[in-house]
Amino acid sequence: MFISNAYAQSSGIPGLDGNLMSFLPIVMMFVVLYFLMIRPQMKRQKEQKSMMDALAKNDEVITVGGVLGKITKVTDAYVTLEVSNATEIVVQKSAVTLLLPKGTIKAI
C-alpha cells in the first residue's frame, strides 16, 4: 500500500529501438571478423593454390618440413624433388610451401 507500481517507459519509435539496436553490435563484430580474419586467409589460400598449380620442372622449393630441393617431376598430386646429387624424394604438392628464386640452391 505504501509502494506504488513502477511501469517501464516506452521508446519514441516502437519496436525499432529494441530489435534493431540490440543486433547492431553482433552484426558489427561479424563485419570486423570478416575483414580482419576471413578475407586475408582466403587470399592466402588462393595464392597458395595458384603457386601449387604453377609448379614446374627445375623450380626450387621449400617443403613444410624444411627440405630444400629442385623439382624434377610434377604430377597431379605429387612432386619429385632432387635434394642432393642422385637423391630424390617424392612429396605431396600440398607439402610445398615456398617457391624460391632460381639459383638459390647451388649445392645440387
For the chain, the structural domain boundaries read 12-54, 55-100
What is the rounded distance in angstroms from the CA atom of residue 26 to the CA atom of residue 78? 44
pLDDT tens figures, 55-72: 999 999 999 999 999 999
pLDDT for 16 equals: 55
Q: Give the span between the Cα atoms of 108 and 94, in whole angstroms.
A: 23
Query: With 80 as the cut, is the pLDDT of residue 87 above it?
Result: yes
- Asked if the model's pLDDT at residue 107 lies above 60, the reply is no
pLDDT band for position 13 (cuts 50, 70, 90): low
Residue % of the chain over a pLDDT of 90? 68
Q: Into which CATH architecture does domain 55-100 fall?
A: Roll (2.30)
How far is residue 108's CA from residue 104's CA, in Å, rounded to a whole number?
A: 10
Mean pLDDT of the chain: 87
**pLDDT for position 5:** 79
pLDDT band at 6 (very low <50, low <70, confident <90, very high): confident
